[in-house]
Amino acid sequence: MGDEKGERADNPGVVAPPPLIFAGALVAGLLLNRLRPTPFLPRTLSRLLGWPLVVTGLLLGLWGFREMRRAGTNVDPYHPTTAIVERGPYGFTRNPLYVGMTLIYSGISARANASPAALLLPAALHVVHYKVIKREERYLEKKFGEEYLRYKGRVRRWI
């Protein structure tokens, strides 16, 4: 735990909760679209893609959440990680919760047919990559050493 000497707390020190990063960009994009509607998909494709992406993202996120709970580790990045989770979706992506949030964001953008929201997704992913994932990876490497490095070598960051 941190103290007056400035030692870091037992967490990765992410810049903001990832759901807030995604939600902030999505809300901003939807508001901009409301001011100036700018569709980016044909109406039929918008309807066809939207809900399946949202549902797939929710299912993947819930599955990842359940596996973290099952492993007895914290989901909240402001609390210590107590285990490397390798079961379930963590067998094919190191970040199923972020992949799920990306799918949900994409589905809502598609269903709303909101070009500004879609265009803000890369900015949200940039912040998540550099200010969340990279910090989490450094933290996990320091905390778990070779165990995490082996896992990192076997499983891709995204998909």
pLDDT band at 8 (very low <50, low <70, confident <90, very high): low
Q: Please tell me the predicted confidence (pLDDT) of residue 3.
A: 41
In a domain, 15, yes or no: no
Residue 94 lies in a domain: yes
CB 111 within 8 A of CB 54: yes
Residue 121 in any domain: the answer is: yes
Q: What percent of the chain has pLDDT over 90?
A: 92
pLDDT tens digits for 15-60?
A: 999 999 999 999 999 999 999 999 999 999 999 999 999 999 999 9
Question: What are the C-alpha distances in Å from 151 to residues 50, 85, 92?
Answer: 33, 9, 11
d(CA 80, CA 92): 23
Residue 36 lies in a domain: no
pLDDT band at 4 (very low <50, low <70, confident <90, very high): very low
Note whether residue 77 is domain-resident: yes
- Measured between its terminal Cα atoms, the distance across the chain in Å is 33
